[in-house]
Homo-oligomer: A and B are copies of this chain.
Amino acid sequence: MKILVVYAHPEANSYNGTLLAATRETLAAEGHELVVSDLYAQGFNAVAGPHDVTGRADKDRFSLGVEQMHAAQTNGFAADVQAELDKLMAADVLILQFPMWWFSMPAIMKGWIDRIFACGVAYEHGRTWKKGVFAGRRAMIAITVSAPAEAFLPDGKNGDMERVLWPVHAGVLGLCGYSVLPPFVAHGIPFCGEEAMAAQLETYRDRLRSLESTEPLFFHMGDDLDEHRLRSDVEPRTPGQHRGPRYHMAEPH
């Protein structure tokens, strides 16, 4: 398979660098064709804006979605965007590898998503989830976290990791149609020590060897939905959806 690893870490001599080296080795041994976008090494521009496109649908007023759509229709993406788009569209499997910073991804990785998951190419109205552009392809995130695993358990002080990852799993990968594999999460980096880090590296190699056979995560889509909400007879069974009480926002009317 063709596999694209998008990698965001400022230091090659890091545990993330070790994971990337293991990725190259393991996927090559499995006979896969690997392409790596090393965003820091490339000096990737993280900021989506008018420089993403070579022409304009509206010269006076820049709307990212509108101009991405226009660029998609006119072959008008800037060279750095088009180069990454070509890699993305060619890949059977997408792996996003990054250290978790602030319960999310480094800005340079978020910028890759803002700019490359372009409207009109990676998604558009009516082409999401089941009908998504990447339906039939697989995606996975591989992250390192400084906190121990306990802190991200369901009753952990940081909240449940599967809820923390919902915006990426559902809001980026699932929405664009990918079959999303369970995340690889290395915990306690680097505080857990050499031995535990080596053990987690082996777990990651196993995950890389089973990319094709791993069961994807479940998301509600298609017939489970009634326009914007779950059908009333569908029992929510994802980390993002529920019918229990709210705590931070007003209950629905």
Contact = CB atoms under 8 A, between A and B. Distances in A.
B240 A167 contact: no
A197 B135 CA distance: 34
Given A13-B60, A63-B11, A159 B154 contact: no
Nearest to A17: B61
Interface stretch (A29-37, A40-48, A71-79, A80-88): A40-48
Contact of A249 (B108, B171, B183, B225): B183
Contacts of A242: 154-155, 160
Q: How many copies does the complex hold?
A: 2
A246 B252 contact: no
A10 B38 CA distance: 26
A111 B246 CA distance: 30
B10 A48 contact: yes
A161 interface: yes
Interface stretch (A19-27, A96-104, A202-210): A96-104
A182 B249 contact: yes
B162 A246 contact: yes
A241 interface: yes
A249 B162 contact: yes
A148 B243 contact: no
Contact of A10 (B62, B164, B170, B182): B62
A156 B229 contact: yes
A217 interface: yes
A163 to B, nearest CB: 5
A203 to B, nearest CB: 12
A193 interface: no
Contacts of A172: 102-103
Nearest to A148: B228
A156 B228 contact: yes
A236 interface: yes
* Interface pairs A-B: 8 shortest CB-CB: A159-B240, A103-B171, A107-B111, A103-B167, A150-B228, A162-B248, A107-B110, A46-B46
11 contacts: A102-B114, A102-B117, A107-B113, A154-B241, A155-B241, A157-B220, A160-B241, A160-B242, A163-B163, A167-B167, A218-B247
Interface of A: 10-11, 13-14, 40, 46-50, 60-65, 101-108, 110-111, 113-114, 117, 146-148, 150-151, 153-172, 182-183, 217-218, 220-221, 225, 227-230, 236-244, 246-249, 252
